[in-house]
Structure formats: structure tokens, C-alpha cells
Chain A
Amino acid sequence: MKPNTWKLALAGALAVVAMTALAWAAESSGVGTEAAAQLAAAGAKSALPWWAWPGILLVFCFILGIIAVLAGVGGGVLFVPLVSGFFPFHLDFVRGAGLLVALAGALAAGPGLLKRNLASLRLALPVALIASSCAIVGAFLGLALPTNVVQICLGSTIIFIAALLLFSKNTARPVVTKQDAIGLALGIHGAYIEPASGEIVEWKTHRTLWGLLLFILIGIMAGMFGLGAGWANVPVLNLMMGVPLKVAVGTSKFLLSITDTSAAWVYLNQGCVIPLMAIPSIVGLMAGSFVGVRILAVAKPSFIRYMVIGVLLFSGVKALLKGLGI
């Protein structure tokens, strides 16, 4: 991982911790009046008929699915901040739906990636065990913390992700001169054929222990915010552990199907899944992703990428202000 990216990652992690502390302080001083406002608002009926919501969500998530593919981000990372910011659903239900959105997308993409050897089971399994067990902890943490605290943490994380997308420079084929002991013991290596050149690309990992340790944090954040965690998986696999970008992206997508499964069960068991809103979100985003893949062939993704970074910054600030009661 390049020094600048490390500094950025460290600064982001510290910012999240600082904002959490700030949020606790705000909570204890009585800033959070959200629950009372919600209870008052709940008495009022929605201005729209019930059947309008699934339709609006379906179209909204369809567009979101297209944008997500063009921008190279997962659906969950756009879904949670935007839907929680602009729809009337409580954050608990948005996170539950967000996890299912990320899970369904990862499950659908998994078979193709595994068959083409662009996702490696030997790389994914040790990482998944750590991330999925920590995602359970994250899910409980997210459901136990006051909503405004989660909103503040979510806002901080989204702003951090936007910065990460803006500044981090992934490496197509990192140079790994010597595999470390853990990577060697677990046999984490592989090879794939580069379709453009027909070249065989061999890969192995280094700094495996540090990479595995970072997945503790990634797992907790994935479970806590229902975001999916592709935005964090790829830099760690690629820049830290030295996995080629293609395998890092493929394995990351596949990894979400495991990490999000554990968190999704927690949300499901806690009653955080409302089918009326969750299913159109899943179907809309998946349909949008299929269309997005076709558009990708002719579109210029760099503009979309900057647009998404702008949208993430906006929704991150919105979530932050909402959490702070401003």
C-alpha cells in the first residue's frame, strides 16, 4: 500500500472514532430528539398511497444500479446513504435492505467470477472467516447504538469512502517479491489468463497478517452500516496484500456474499427486513446492474465516477448533519 493511502486510511479511521465519541457526547447531552420526532410523525399517514413506494424504489434502485456499475462501486454503498437520506424509512430498515441488496448482487456475480478464477477461494476463505464473524459484531453494534450515533458514523464513513475513491490509486499488478509465511502456509496464490493479451498472470500475497487484521475493521463496518464493503476490500487485497487488481475486485465481490450473509441474518432475525421496500430495492438494483454492464462498454466512466464521489460526499454530509440534529 502506498504511504499516502496509508495516511488517508489512518486519518479516516481516526475521524470515524472521533465522530463516534462526539456523537456519544451529543447523545448524552440530549441533542438527539429524533425518536420523539419520529413517534410524532408516525401518527400521520404517508401522503403517497402504499403502492407508489415500491414503484418509486424500483425505479430509483434501477438507476442506482446503473450508476454503481459505471462508477465501479457496490450497490450498498450508494443505497444506504441515499435511501436513508431521501426516503421515509428508518435507518434500521434501510441497513437491512442495503445488506440484502449487496448480498443478492454478490451472489449473482459469484459463479462467473469463481469459474473464471477471478475470485479465489483460497484467498477468500481465511479473510471471510474473520470478516463475517466481525460483521455479526458490527450488526449488533449498529442495532444497539442510538440511531443518531449510527447516522454520524455512517456519514463520516461515507465521506471517508468518497475521499478513498478520489485519492487511492490501485495497482493493476503489484510486485510481490517474496510471499510471507502465512500466505505460504495457507497456499494463497493462483494464476489467471489476461483476456486482452492472453498472458498468464501468476500472483501470491505478502503482508497477509496485516491484511487479515484489517478485515476485522472491515467486517465490523460492513455489519454496522449495511454497506457491503467492496470499497474497503479492494484496497486491502490489492495495495496491502499485493493481489492483482482483477483478482482483488473479483474476490472482493465474492467475499461480500459471505460477509453480508452473516450480517444479513442478524438484521433478518431482529426484524429489520420489510419485504414491501426490500424486494423492489433488490430487484431494481440487480436489473440496473445488468443494464449498467452493457452501458459500460460505450460510456465514459470517469465522469460518472466523479459524479458518484460528489453524490457520496453530499449524502455523507447529509447523514452527518442528520445525526448531529442540525
Chain B
Amino acid sequence: MTPNTNAPKEQLVYAEILFYGCWTGIVIMIVTYFLYVSGLINPHVSMELVTKYWSLPVHDYLVENNVPIGWGWLNLITKGDFINFIGIALLAGLTILCFIYLTFAYYKQKDMKFAIISFLEVLTLCLAASGIIGGGAH
């Protein structure tokens, strides 16, 4: 019997989500960056302060510039620097979306091992994204 060299359906759907999501994220990132550096939208932290403090460890940088951590950036979404996080968050969130799809796809196929692996991956990535587990950034 000739082996099947075609990618499985769930793999193709995953690729489609990734393709459109990734390029949307990159385009958003470029547009928001232009709005930021052109000065069309005022930033929360001025360019001078960013360049002055970016050689400091992250904790000191955040304190000096009054920058929130976790999802606090959402409160500053109208600021030129934080609007950039829309594209970045989209890129970082794409894989979660893909794995939610995979969980359902494998469940429908009654492939329970991979449905569980996919679901655990969703939990892992959501845990990382949630900011619930906090570390001691120096």
C-alpha cells in the first residue's frame, strides 16, 4: 500500500489559522509602530526616557518609567508605545487559538491521547499568558 504523504486535515487547518493570524499580526505591528515613532500617538514613556533607561534591569526600568506589568498594558492601549502590544499579543496568542482548534479536532476524531495533549498545551499556554504565575524579575 502506498503511504499517505498528504498532511492530515487538522494540520492543514492549523496552517491556515497560522498563516492568516501571523501576517495580520505582523501588519498590525508595523502600522502601530509607525503611529508610535511618527509621534501621531503620544507614548506613555517618552523616547528619551526609553533610551535613557533601557540599559537597566527590567525591574528598575519599570519603576523609573511607571510601566505596568502583566495585562496592565491594556489600560494604556491608547498610548503610542502600548498600542504596539496589540500585534505582539496577537502573535503570541495565535498558538493558543490553534491548540483550541486541535483539541476539538482530535476529540471529534476520538483520538483522545492527542485531544488531551492539545488541551494540556492550551492550559500551559494560557497559564503563561495569564500572568498568574509571577516571577521575581530583577
Contact = CB atoms under 8 A, between A and B. Distances in A.
B112 to A, nearest CB: 12
Interface residues of A, number: 76
B12 A115 contact: yes
Given A42-B52, A122-B114, A200-B2, A271 B137 contact: yes
B11 A121 contact: yes
Given A115-B15, A275-B81, A276-B81, A140 B55 contact: no
A53 B52 CA distance: 12
A114 B11 contact: yes
Nearest to B20: A111
Interface string A40-57: 011001100011011000
Contacts of B21: 107
B26 A129 contact: no
Nearest to B113: A186
B94 A107 contact: yes
A273 interface: yes
Contact of A92 (B11, B33, B125, B137): B137
A144 B125 contact: no
Interface of A: 35, 38-39, 41-42, 45-46, 50-51, 53-54, 88-90, 92-93, 100, 103-104, 107-108, 110-112, 114-117, 120-122, 125-126, 128-129, 132-133, 136, 139-140, 143-147, 185-186, 191-193, 200, 202, 257-258, 261-266, 268-280, 282-283, 286
17 contacts: A42-B52, A45-B48, A53-B51, A89-B55, A104-B26, A114-B12, A125-B121, A140-B135, A143-B58, A191-B4, A193-B5, A258-B121, A273-B88, A274-B61, A279-B33, A279-B84, A282-B26
